[in-house]
Amino acid sequence: MNFIKNFLLKLLGEKNYLFFLASMYQLLYKTKTLSKDHDDVYFLKKIIYPGNYVADIGAHLGYFTFELSRLVGAGGNVFAIEPVSKFYSVIKKMIHRKKKSNIHLHKVALGGNSEFVEMGIPWVGKQKKFGYARIKEMSEYFNYAETEMVPNVKGDDLFVDLPRLDFIKCDVEGAEVLVFRSMLQVVKKHTPILLCELADKLERIKMYEMLLPFGYKLYLLNKEKLSQLDAYSELAVTLNHYFIPESRAEKIKHLID
């Protein structure tokens, strides 16, 4: 796999290589040949409806963004948040090529502690690991191939004027709790379904306790059904977690074991 990656990088150059990855993902998705690791993207069609307003925080190469765009339709909106220039440029190019008017792309970070944060793409071995891009100060143990300073905003400020917000996907390499801590007023107001990748039990508990006052329960996806999970369980789960408020659980009760 590394040989193929290195070959394509050398052949295409980094910019075209990333666009190739994004394009291939969309093709594989349409042909339903993605691996089980991408079950959450396929599950979106069961919980996203035309006219929904949704957010993709940590959009990366648009893996969720473009399926969300298709599902919400012309009457809905997708707010894609991607702070890293390389990935932002890929999504912007794909939006233009696909003529997607319902995707609103923002090049900002959420949840940092200052006006700007330093984002970095680290080395893993001798490979630049694009999928590990993250806030540098939170992961100083990595050696970084490149970094950049990007504006940081609060989610409560970015989404303050939205009339609704139905779903948020958040995958920001360990900063998920910080992101949602910056937008609790928005979460309280709209109680969207949340899909978060959480790395360990402690982060899971922090997120659960932060959302509990708003009526959220925790679930995992298993064979196209949502199973409730005890946040304090010793079960080690590093997959995506669904936080669903009681106000929305009734509409999708047929999907809950």
Q: Is 128 exposed, middle or buried (0-12, 13-18, 19+ CB in 10 A)?
A: middle
Q: Is 205 helix (H, G, I), strand (E, B) or coil?
A: helix
CA distance linking residue 12 with residue 202, whole number of Å: 41
Tell me the chain's radius of gyration from C-alpha atoms: 18
Answer yes or no: is 220 within a domain: yes
Answer yes or no: is 184 within a domain: yes
pTM of this structure: 0.95
Domain that holds residue 226: 36-111+154-255
Answer yes or no: is 103 within a domain: yes
CA distance linking residue 66 with residue 91, whole number of Å: 9
Answer yes or no: is 17 within a domain: no
Answer yes or no: is 44 within a domain: yes
Helix %, strand %, coil % of the chain (to 5): 40, 25, 35
> Using an 8 Å Cβ cutoff, are 15 and 89 in contact?
yes
Q: Which residues contact 64 (CB under 8 A, 6 or more apart)?
A: 41, 44, 56, 169
CA neighbor of 169 nearest in space, from 180, 182, 157, 185 = 180
Answer yes or no: is 237 within a domain: yes
User: Which residue type occupies 220?
Assistant: L
Answer yes or no: is 134 within a domain: no
Q: What's the confidence (pLDDT) of residue 1?
A: 61
Identify the segments of the chain with pLDDT beneath 70.
1, 236, 238
What beta strand segments (E) does the chain contain? 53-57, 77-81, 103-106, 109-110, 116-124, 127-128, 134-135, 144-153, 167-170, 193-197, 216-222, 225-228, 240-245
Answer yes or no: is 30 within a domain: no
Q: The domain that contains 107 carries what CATH number?
A: 3.40.50.150
For residue 31 the two structure tokens come to 């042909």
Across 64-102, b (16+ Cβ under 10 Å) vs e yields bbbbbbbbbeeebbbbbbbbbebbbebbbbbbeeeebeb
Q: What is the CB-side half-sphere exposure of residue 156 using CA atoms within 13 A?
A: 10
What's the total number of domains in the chain? 1
In terms of phi and psi (left: phi > 0; alpha: psi -120 to 50; beta: otherwise), the region of 193 is: beta
